[in-house]
Amino acid sequence: MYVITGITGKVGGAVARTLLSKNLPVRGVMRDASKADTWRALGCEVAIAEMDDAKALTEAFKGATGVFILPPSDFDPAPGFPAARIFIEAIVTAISAASPEKVVCLSTIGAQAAQTNLLTQRTLLEQALNALTLPVTFLRPGWFMENCALDVASARDTGVIHSYLQPLDKAVPMIATADVGKLAATLLQQRWQGQRVVELEGPHRVSPNDIANTFAQILGRPVVAEVVERHTWEAVFRAQGHQHPSPRMQMIDGFNQEWICFEGPKSERVIGETELDEVLRKLLEA
């Protein structure tokens, strides 16, 4: 039995669909019972659990061949990452109690970075899972191409996308969530000893100018990328409702200054197949 957290989202859904397509048994973990019927109809067992509920997660993880952990996103974490620490405690407690054969944990590019930033939440999760004795693979993908969902309206309606990634011609490792899900499903079916890091990026690195040009090709009219000046970020993020904008700003600084990067030789590297064009077409159709 493969147990998939975050199954109602992009990556978890792709993991589950890949396993189901091979007639492998899947138990989907979700917090919202109203989403259960969709997954039952596809042949899944369903377990209801919040990611901070160790007891419910333990029940969900029991009897698993492999567990896929998708930690919830928090773009506005308080100092010291207290909310992430609660999720980590629950996840580690449940894995220790249920003792699945192996775990594949979605982490991120840059989880090894020493500087504090938004992704420190994943550094902490990796450290906590590294203390366990069972086989764990940390899947560290690049920047999700689906983050371009935030650019769709302005590309289509104004011909401009506003970029925190800069300079505009600097290419960044990016990946489609479908490829992240497919690789996670493959990893869940593998056998390995101890801890392992697998890094994943798409077939080509992508710059903000590439994103604008790809929107332009699909829309058939000009689209340009414009820099969001660094000194305006805090005000922009606070206007969006952030109470703690620093970690998100530090993360983007990390990409721009390249200290958020792949770890390299110590890890395995996989190249996905989905091109940016395919992802942007789907986002424009949605």
Ligand X SMILES: NC(=O)c1ccc[n+]([C@@H]2O[C@H](COP(=O)([O-])OP(=O)(O)OC[C@H]3O[C@@H](n4cnc5c(N)ncnc54)[C@H](OP(=O)(O)O)[C@@H]3O)[C@@H](O)[C@H]2O)c1
Q: How far is the CB of 220 from ligand X (least distance, A)?
A: 28
Q: How far is the CB of 125 from ligand X (least distance, A)?
A: 9
Look at residue 203 and give its three-state secondary structure: coil
Q: How far is the CB of 50 from ligand X (least distance, A)?
A: 4
Cα distances (angstroms) measured from residue 41 to each of 10, 11, 46: 18, 19, 11
105 counts as binding ligand X under rule CB under 6 A: no
The residue assigned the tokens 């560290």 is 140
Per DSSP (E only), the strands in the chain are: 2-5, 26-30, 45-48, 66-69, 102-106, 136-141, 143-144, 160-163, 174-175, 195-201, 224-227, 268-271
Q: How far is the CB of 8 from ligand X (least distance, A)?
A: 3
Q: How far is the CB of 254 from ligand X (least distance, A)?
A: 12
Candidate segments 69-77, 184-192, 254-262, 276-284, binder of ligand X by CB under 6 A: 69-77
77 counts as binding ligand X under rule CB under 6 A: no
Is 43:75 a contact under the CB 8 Å cutoff?
Answer: no
Candidate segments 39-47, 70-78, 187-195, 196-204, binder of ligand X by CB under 6 A: 70-78
- Amino acid identity, residue 256? N
Q: Considering only residues 9-68, where is the footprint of ligand X by CB under 6 A?
A: 9-12, 31-32, 50-51
Q: Considering only residues 195-254, where is the footprint of ligand X by CB under 6 A?
A: none
Within its chain, how far is the Cα of 220 from the centroid?
31
**DSSP string computed for 111-138:** TT-SS-STTHHHHHHHHHHHTSSS-EEE
Q: Considering only residues 167-196, where is the footprint of ligand X by CB under 6 A?
A: 177
Among 71, 173, 208, 247, binds ligand X (CB under 6 A): 71
74 counts as binding ligand X under rule CB under 6 A: no
Cβ closer to ligand X: 14 or 155? 14
Cα distances (angstroms) measured from residue 219 to each of 107, 148, 275: 33, 15, 17
274 counts as binding ligand X under rule CB under 6 A: no
Candidate segments 138-146, 192-200, 213-221, 228-236, binder of ligand X by CB under 6 A: 138-146
Among 106, 113, 184, 260, binds ligand X (CB under 6 A): 106
Cβ closer to ligand X: 66 or 77? 77
Write the CB contacts of 128 (distance below 8 Å, at least 6 apart in sequence). 88, 89, 91, 92
8 counts as binding ligand X under rule CB under 6 A: yes
Q: How far is the CB of 248 from ligand X (least distance, A)?
A: 12
Cβ closer to ligand X: 54 or 70? 70
Quick one: which of 27, 195, 236 has its CA closest to 111?
195
Residue nearest to ligand X (CB): 9
Write the CB contacts of 227 (distance below 8 Å, at least 6 apart in sequence). 163, 166, 167, 168
Cα distance from N-terminal residue to C-terminal residue, the chain: 32
Q: Using CB under 6 A as the criterion, which residues of the chain lie in contact with ligand X when the complex forms?
A: 6-12, 31-32, 50-51, 70-73, 106, 108, 141, 143-144, 147, 177
